[in-house]
Structures are given as structure tokens and as C-alpha cells.
Amino acid sequence: MTDADIIVLYDIPSKVGPWSPNTWKTRYSLNYKRLPFKTVWIEYPDIEPTLKAAGIISNTKPKPDGSPTWTVPAIWDPKTQTGLTESFFIAEYLDATYPDLPRLIPQGTRTLQKAWVQAFWGKLQADTQFVCPKTTWELNEPSDRYYREMILKWNGMSMEELYPKGEKRETEWKKLEMEFGEINKWFAEGSDGGPFVMGDQVSFADFALAGSILWFRVVFGKDSNEWRDITSWHDGRWGRLIAELEKYE
């Protein structure tokens, strides 16, 4: 295999490594399938020109005016001369293009996996106020500026205002634990109960959830109280999930 055969994964850099929960979905996906890839790091303002120049097609939900949205993860697969964005779309592409490798979306579960991503994401509301500020403080300057503006537009707050402090920090952290508790209730006890969403079988659903959890480890650090908390919640379910998936990091 030459370098020209290797899939390219486009990701956003930081001082502490890959952090984006969305690009993690694809990073996990490629590793799970044992597809060799190299990462091309792009700062936020360079995403659009870089992906356009690479001949990548945007599969991400278009802007309200109908023009394409340029996002990562994006991949370029030299084998098929195909470039695409959006982690679920990429997962489906990889399953279709490499049918002999382990499936990301087991037969018959496509609709459930799609709904899963929205379901757990919808439960998590208290997370962004912690992880977004921590992320921006670890971004390189061009992405930092871009990311701050994006969050300011969404929240009407600067990252420093968004980040909870003092008593509020405690109540919001408790809220996050309760939100994970709601997701935890979806898991059965016993054989169907894990470590993975589909019991013993790894699937895209795990990578989607794990991406959102891993984000905390990356920006707070492995030795932080935050990471110790999260990995201990709900009988260690989230810590166990990350540990089981470590080989696909």
C-alpha cells in the first residue's frame, strides 16, 4: 500500500489533540474497520477552501439559503476518488464501499442508529457550557477566534461568561450527571446492557456517544476531577465504554 491509497481524514487541531466529538465518530469508524488513514489538520477558517479544493462533496445539512455547509469530519478516499462530509454519511459510505470489513451500522438498524444520535444528543444540554469554553482555550489562534464567534452567536455569551463558576458550577455539573442518568436508563441490566449500545456488538451508536464523552477527557485531561466523575457515574458505564473502545482511538 502506498501513501496514495490511504484515506485522508480532515480534522481540527488543538494543543491537546483531536477533540471534536464529530470527527471522533469518523476516527473511531476508520480504526474499527482497520482502514489506514492519515489526518490532515485544518484550522476552522480553512475548512471551506480546503475541502472545496480537495473536491469533497458536502453531505452536511445546507444553510438556510441552500448553499452547502462545509464541516469536518470529511474524508477523501483515493481508492474510489470520493470525498464526503458528515460522520453518519461517511459511516454508510464505508459500510457500502468495504462490505467485507466489520459493519458500523448492522443490518436493519439504520433508522434506529440515526434516531439514537439525536436521542442522546437531545438529552445532553448541560455539557456544552463545560466543554466548549475548555476547548476554545486549547485551540490555536485562528480556530479560537472562529469558534468564539460561533458560540457567541449561538449563546449570546462569551466563552468566559458561559463557563459555570462557583455554586452554579456544582448545580450544572449535577444536572449533567442527571442527563447521563436518563441515557443510562435506556440500557438494560444484564446481557443486553452493555458495554455497548447493542450489548456485545460495537456499532456507530457507540462511536457517536463515545465522541461526546471523550471530548471531556481531551479538554479536561485524564487526571482531572471532571474525568474521574464522569467515568464513575452510573456504575462506571461511561468509563467502561471509553475503555472498551480505546483500541479504536
The x, y and z cell numbers of residue 30, run together, are: 476508520
111 counts as binding a second copy under rule CB under 8 A: yes
107 counts as binding a second copy under rule CB under 8 A: yes
Q: Is 211 helix (H, G, I), strand (E, B) or coil?
A: helix
Contact stretch for a second copy (CB under 8 A) within 50-58, 116-124, 155-163, 237-245: 116-124
Contacts of 85 (CB under 8 A, 6+ apart): 51, 56, 57, 58, 59, 60, 70, 71, 72, 73, 74
Judged by CB, which is closer to a second copy: 66, or 166? Answer: 66
From CA 29, how far away is CA 91, in angstroms rounded?
A: 7
Among 80, 118, 158, 225, binds a second copy (CB under 8 A): 118
Contact stretch for a second copy (CB under 8 A) within 1-9, 112-120, 153-161, 217-225: 112-120
Residue from 91, 85, 77 nearest 28 by CA: 91
Judged by CB, which is closer to a second copy: 39, or 184? Answer: 184
**What is the closest distance, in whole angstroms, from the C-beta atom of residue 74 to a second copy in the complex?**
20
Q: H or E segment at 8?
A: strand 7-11
Among 110, 145, 175, 240, binds a second copy (CB under 8 A): 110
**What is the closest distance, in whole angstroms, from the C-beta atom of residue 123 to a second copy in the complex?**
8
The x, y and z cell numbers of residue 97, run together, are: 464501499
Binding interface with a second copy (CB under 8 A): 92, 106-116, 118-120, 122-123, 185-188, 192-193, 197-201, 205
